[in-house]
Amino acid sequence: MTAPTKPPHPTAASADTPSGPPLGENLHSPVIDWFGEHARDLPWRRPEAGAWGVMVSEFMLQQTPVSRVLPVYEQWLERWPRPADLAKDAPGEAVRAWGRLGYPRRALRLHGAAVAITERHGGDVPADHAQLLALPGIGEYTAAAVASFAYGQRHPVLDTNVRRVFARAVTGVQYPPNATTAAERKLARALLPEDEPTAARWAAASMELGALVCTAKSESCHRCPIAAQCAWRLAGKPEHDGPPRRGQTYAGTDRQVRGRLLAVLREAHGAVPQAALDRVWHEPVQRARALDGLVADGLVEPLAGGSYRLPLT
């Protein structure tokens, strides 16, 4: 049988009906070779990080830049080098150590995962994808990332950076949808190299390309190893025509109030009276709403007498 002729570059149509490995063969080698030369030396990429180090980094890096994660990550692994070490401490200690990384529920989820790993898997992060997915606080992305980056397995790893690279290079649009779609998952599976080591390398390389070159605000096509095949560039870089992409605000929001309340609780190694929390924010209704939200999320425990503390259980 004659092999099908490869198109000169991926098109938007090919993204809807992926054609299997040939779709990605034009992309794999250039991106992986680029990664070999330009990958950042990050601690969770080093062999000594192990699966636990990879998992910790994946929790911390969600919606948080590398520069903010690095110091907290290093302190975290020094204090809790294995899941069992974290599991022994109260969940409030995880919230305290999380510092100002933001979205502190991630700290509780990571603590919950550490407890489950200790109880179900003898303290070792499981290599099986299904077992990873069954851990509390672990979703589709994190399970695939740990299985791929820690254990070299073949899984589509779809974070925001990867989705943007695929949207531009293959689908021909500036930005991916706001939420991951079934079409994106199908495309990601079609783009995976067949052998596991190459697939794991491709997952890390395509993510790094989105983080360093094919960024959301200022793509650097002159530095991109697949610019010649990029469907979006070849189409003249059409402007995004989907729903408006609004940046997240912080000042004056409940998130800011929650952060200030948690900062007081993190600094106090014991119960904090209501009066100390009342000084955090001038608007009482918003302040009360933010505090109630922290309690509902399990990040703060109310005590008798109107005081509060980080959770012990």
Can you tell me the distance from the alpha carbon of 107 to that of 127, in angstroms, rounded to the nearest whole number? 22
Contact 91, 118 (CB under 8 A): no
**What CA–CA distances, in Å, run from 85 to 60, 93, 108?**
18, 12, 15
Burial of 30 (0-12, 13-18, 19+ CB in 10 A): middle
Residue for token digits 């998952």? 185
37 catalytic? Reply is: no
Residue for token digits 């933010």? 290
Contact 155, 148 (CB under 8 A): yes
**Paired residues of 272 in beta bridges:** 308
Per DSSP, 22 falls in state H
Tokens of 308: 């509060």
Can you tell me the distance from the alpha carbon of 209 to that of 27, in angstroms, rounded to the nearest whole number? 12
Per-residue H/E/C for 121-182: HCCCCCCCHHHHHCCCCCCHHHHHHHHHHHHCCCCCCCCHHHHHHHHHHHHCCCCCCCCCCH
**Paired residues of 303 in beta bridges:** 307
**Paired residues of 307 in beta bridges:** 273, 303
DSSP, collapsed to helix, strand or coil, labels residue 302 as strand
Contact 188, 156 (CB under 8 A): yes
List of E strands, the chain: 272-273, 301-303, 307-309
Can you tell me the distance from the alpha carbon of 115 to that of 122, in angstroms, rounded to the nearest whole number? 10
Q: Which of 58, 208, 219, 301 is catalytic?
A: 58
Per DSSP, 195 falls in state S
Can you tell me the distance from the alpha carbon of 23 to that of 307, in angstroms, rounded to the nearest whole number? 59
Catalytic residue positions, numbered: 58
